[in-house]
């Protein structure tokens, strides 16, 4: 999967932040049709909205 190492690093960092309750991946990477050089579309939510 393209960007797997970067996504894993983001998830690990988010897990260390108590206020972050979710990270949502959308767009071409989530659909599985990303090409090299595409961006990551991420959305996060926290307990302190």
The more confidently predicted of residues 48 and 20 is 20
Query: What pLDDT is recorded for position 2?
Result: 75
pLDDT digits (tens, 9 = 90+) for 4-47: 999 999 999 999 999 999 999 999 999 999 998 999 999 999 98
Burial 13-46 (b: 16+ CB within 10 A, else e): ebeeeeebeeeeeeeebeeeebeeeeebeeeeee
Query: What pLDDT is recorded for position 47?
Result: 87
Determine the Cα–Cα distance for residues 35 and 3; give it in Å rounded to an integer: 10
Query: What pLDDT is recorded for position 19?
Result: 93
Q: What is the pTM of this model?
A: 0.77
The distance of Cα 40 from the centroid of its chain, to the nearest Å, equals: 7
Query: What pLDDT is recorded for position 1?
Result: 67
Place of tokens 């894993």: 8
């Amino acid at each position: 999967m393209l960007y797997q190492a970067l996504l894993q690093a983001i998830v690990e960092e988010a897990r260390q932040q108590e206020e972050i309750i979710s990270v949502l991946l959308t767009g071409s990477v989530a659909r599985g049709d990303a090409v090299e050089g595409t961006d990551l579309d991420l959305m996060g939510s926290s307990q302190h909205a």
